[in-house]
């Protein structure tokens, strides 16, 4: 079974000063797939995700989203993506409803469908009681939820989440994971995380980055093998370090 | 898309308590100057009345007030423009606009328009005060309108300048200081110009404002403002596009 390709990136390269932060990374994402991006701190996960969403231009390489080239047709490509960056881009002085509606308008949700989109996003992220509250007065966990809500309010084909469950309490983590699973059915999701059990329970496929290079790509079941995720992860990253 | 961003910026500017303080202070200072000029005028009115072709109340009160307003706006506008782009970068909300399907031109025009709405409101507040002259005298409405147009065009120029500096910097204060420095420099150019035909005067927005300030609506001045504003906005758009494309 080959589902529709929603996102493909080829030979992405990004330098910071003289250091290669992302080095020749290629990846593909199909409809209905949840892809986990793993790696130590500073491995280039966030940079890769930013490039996939058009927030950061790659020095070289090509990105296609839903068949649109991100460089040639940025507006069409970007309207297929929802992005939660590492730091949720929240305006602290706006009310949750106003903020989400603003984001929906930026993503060209037609005005007749705004109210429905707002309600669905709030309901999916457990924000129904927070509409009138100022974003800045919410707790970190709720701000993270607003961040996720802004990424999915326009029902994008590709959802990119940079550490979506960081700073959440266990009950919230459970809810957000359920949401990601739900999103995985209707669209495709890429998420970066440090929590290996999250990968185990959510992701169909796993990519591991180390010092900007892609060192592993396979299904999470393969990676898990017979052992546990943590061991497998350590083994892969250590082995590559030894052979490098 | 431009209007969506403009509305959001306008509301955000209004949500900040500092904006209200600035508005209140501005209106207070303006009223203070207004009564000061009025007082001066009333004291010399009797002597003025003996002159042929004596200056009227409008040119003696409204025109100087509008120059004062122009100067105050020059100092205030960088404080607003620094929030528009530089502060978004610092607060890491800029990525929202970068990842959204919005061309840089829409972002820039939206932000410029949002700020202009606020500035129009400020100028209207001042205009309402000037309109009280109509209660006591036959004011020269044409002169007043030219004055208001001049202040608006000058404010738009400073706003476009501030926006450009905001796009250049990641630090709001640097953006504000840069814009204020250049605005002030341009203002000084006019003071430093030796004669009316000096090219220094041709560059300075303040010199072009002064014609309008005296009630002279000159197409050359209007063209100057339109050109400067359009160029600065274009530079800002280019700067943002460069940043997106240039992978530096």
A172-229 tens-digit pLDDT: 888 888 989 988 888 899 999 888 888 888 888 999 988 888 888 888 777 777 667 7
Q: Which residue of A has its CA nearest to B104?
A: A75
- Residue pair B166/B85 in contact (Cβ under 8 Å)? The answer is yes
Average pLDDT value over all residues in chain A? 88
Say yes or no for a CB contact (<8 Å) between B15 and A94.
Answer: yes
Q: How many CB atoms lie within 10 A of CB A239?
A: 12
Calpha distance A86→A89 (Å, rounded): 9
Nearest by Cα to B133 from B68, B25, B48, B41: B41
The total of structural domains in chain B comes to 1
- State residue A240's pLDDT score: 57
Whole-angstrom distance, CA of residue B55 vs CA of residue B50: 11
Paired tokens of B33: 């100057």
Q: How many CA atoms, within 13 angstroms, populate the side-chain half-sphere of residue B31?
A: 10
| Among B177, B188, B179, B174, residue whose Cα is nearest residue B161 | B179
- Using one digit for the tens of pLDDT, what is the confidence trace for A144-174? 999 999 999 999 999 999 999 887 888 888 8
Are A94 and A135 contacting, i.e. CB atoms less than 8 angstroms apart? yes
What is the CATH number assigned to the segment(s) A1-80+157-244? 3.40.50.300
pLDDT for position A2:
66
Comparing B183 with A18, which gets the higher pLDDT?
A: B183
User: Can you give the residue range of the structural domain that contains B197?
Assistant: 2-247
pLDDT at A106 over 50: yes
Q: Could you tell me the end-to-end alpha-carbon distance of chain A, in angstroms, rounded to an integer?
A: 35
DSSP B170: S
Strand A158-162 vs strand A188-192: parallel, antiparallel, or unpaired? parallel
To probe the interface with B, which of A7, A74, A83, A89 has the most B CB atoms within 10 Å?
Answer: A89
Question: What ipTM does this complex have?
Answer: 0.88
| Terminal-to-terminal C-alpha distance of chain B | 28
A105:B4 CB<8 A: yes
Question: Is residue A83 predicted with pLDDT exceeding 90?
Answer: yes
Partner-chain contact A89 B8, CB within 8 Å: no
CA A66 to chain centre: 16
Parallel/antiparallel/unpaired status of strands A5-16 and A19-30: antiparallel
Under a CB-based contact definition with an 8 Å cutoff, are residues A13 and A60 in contact? Answer: yes
Segment among A42-51, A113-122, B186-195, B207-216 with least mean pLDDT: B186-195
Residues in chain B, overall count: 248
Contacts of A101 (CB under 8 A, 6+ apart): A114, A118
pLDDT value of residue A195 = 84
Q: What average pLDDT does the segment A36-65 reach?
A: 90
Mean pLDDT of A121-138: 90
B230 burial via Cβ count (<10 Å: 0-12, 13-18, 19+): exposed
| Tally of CA atoms within 13 A in the half-sphere of B218 that contains its CB | 14
Which residues of chain B have a pLDDT value below 70? 194, 196-197, 245-248
Q: Across the interface, do A55 and B95 touch by the CB < 8 Å criterion?
A: yes
Min Cα distance B122 → chain A (Å) is: 22
The answer for B 57-96 residues in CB contact with A (under 8 A) is: 91-96
pLDDT at B248: 44
Residue carrying structure tokens 């009138």: A132
- What pLDDT score was predicted for residue A244? 44
Task: State the pLDDT at residue B50.
Answer: 82
Percent over 70 (pLDDT), chain B: 97
Evaluate the CA torsion angle B58, B61, B64, B67 in order and state its sign.
negative
What ranges do the domains of chain A cover? 1-80+157-244, 85-155
Distance (Å, rounded) from C-alpha B162 to C-alpha B177?
A: 9
A12, pLDDT greater than 80: yes
Q: B106-165: per-residue pLDDT in tens?
A: 999 999 999 999 999 999 989 998 888 888 777 788 888 999 999 999 999 999 999 999
Helices (H), B16-168: 17-49, 57, 63-84, 86-90, 94-99, 104-131, 133-136, 141-168
Average pLDDT over residues A58-70: 91
Q: What are phi and psi of A206, to 5 degrees?
A: -130, 135
How many interface pairs between A and B have CB atoms less than 8 angstroms apart?
Answer: 68
Q: In what order do the strands lie in the sheet with A5-16?
A: A19-30, A5-16, A60-65, A68-69
Tell me if B102 and A85 make a contact (CB, 8 A cut-off). no
**C-alpha distance from B234 to closest chain A C-alpha (Å):** 20
For residue B246, the model assigns a pLDDT of 65
A10 class by beta-carbon count within 10 Å (0-12 exposed, 13-18 middle, 19+ buried):
middle
Please report the pLDDT score of residue B16 as a whole number.
Answer: 84
Partners of A82 in beta bridges:
A159
Interface test with A, best of B100, B106, B107 (most A CBs within 10 A): B100
Do strands A81-84 and A60-65 pair parallel, antiparallel, or not at all (unpaired)? unpaired
C-alpha span between B89 and B109 (Å, rounded): 18
Mutate to test the interface with B, among A52, A56, A83, A105 (most CBs of B within 10 A): A105
Quick check: B11 and A103 CB within 8 A? no
Q: What is the pLDDT of residue B101?
A: 93
In this complex, the residue of B8, B11, B244 whose CB is nearest that of residue A57 is B244
- A103, B96: Cβ pair inside 8 Å? yes
Q: CB under 8 Å to B246, separation ≥6 — which residues?
A: A57
């Amino acid at each position: 079974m080959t589902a529709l390709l929603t996102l493909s990136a080829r030979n992405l390269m990004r330098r910071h000063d003289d250091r290669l932060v992302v080095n020749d990374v290629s990846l593909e994402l199909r409809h209905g797939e949840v892809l986990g991006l793993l790696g130590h701190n500073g491995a280039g996960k966030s940079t890769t995700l930013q490039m996939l969403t058009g927030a950061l231009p790659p020095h070289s390489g090509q990105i296609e989203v839903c068949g649109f080239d991100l460089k040639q047709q940025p507006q069409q490509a970007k309207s297929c993506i929802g992005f939660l960056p590492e730091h949720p881009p929240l305006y602290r002085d706006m009310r949750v409803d106003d903020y989400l509606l603003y984001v929906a308008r930026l993503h060209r949700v037609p005005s007749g469908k705004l109210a429905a989109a707002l309600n669905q996003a709030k309901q999916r992220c457990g924000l129904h009681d927070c509409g009138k509250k100022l974003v800045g007065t919410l707790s970190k966990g709720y701000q993270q939820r607003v961040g996720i809500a802004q990424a999915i309010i326009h029902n994008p084909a590709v959802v990119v989440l940079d550490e979506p469950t960081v700073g959440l309490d266990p009950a919230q983590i459970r809810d957000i994971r359920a949401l990601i699973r739900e999103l995985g059915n209707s669209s495709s999701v890429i998420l970066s995380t440090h929590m290996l059990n999250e990968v185990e329970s959510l992701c169909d496929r796993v990519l591991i980055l180390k010092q900007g290079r892609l060192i592993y790509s396979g299904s999470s079941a393969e990676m898990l093998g017979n052992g546990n995720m943590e061991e497998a992860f350590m083994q892969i990253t250590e082995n590559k370090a030894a052979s490098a | 898309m431009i209007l969506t961003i403009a509305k959001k910026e306008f509301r955000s500017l209004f949500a900040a308590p500092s904006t209200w303080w600035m508005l209140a202070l501005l209106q207070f200072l303006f009223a203070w100057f207004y009564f000061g000029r009025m007082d001066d005028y009333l004291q010399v009115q009797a002597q003025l009345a003996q002159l042929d072709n004596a200056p009227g109340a409008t040119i003696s009160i409204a025109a100087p007030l509008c120059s004062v307003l122009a100067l105050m706006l020059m100092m205030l506008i960088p404080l607003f423009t620094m929030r528009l782009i530089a502060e978004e970068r610092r607060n890491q909300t800029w990525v929202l606009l970068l990842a959204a399907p919005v061309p840089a031109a829409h972002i820039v025009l939206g932000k410029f328009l949002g700020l202009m709405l606020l500035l129009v409101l400020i100028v209207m507040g001042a205009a309402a005060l000037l309109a009280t002259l109509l209660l006591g005298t036959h004011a020269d409405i044409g002169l007043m309108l030219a004055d208001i147009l001049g202040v608006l065009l000058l404010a738009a120029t400073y706003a476009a300048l501030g926006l450009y500096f905001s796009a250049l910097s990641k630090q709001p204060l640097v953006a504000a200081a840069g814009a204020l420095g250049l605005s002030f420099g341009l203002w000084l150019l006019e003071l430093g110009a030796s004669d009316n035909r000096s090219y220094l005067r041709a560059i300075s927005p303040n010199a072009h404002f002064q014609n309008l300030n005296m009630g002279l609506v000159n197409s050359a001045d209007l063209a100057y403002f339109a050109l400067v504003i359009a160029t600065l906005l274009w530079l800002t758009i280019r700067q943002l596009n460069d940043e997106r494309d240039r992978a530096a």
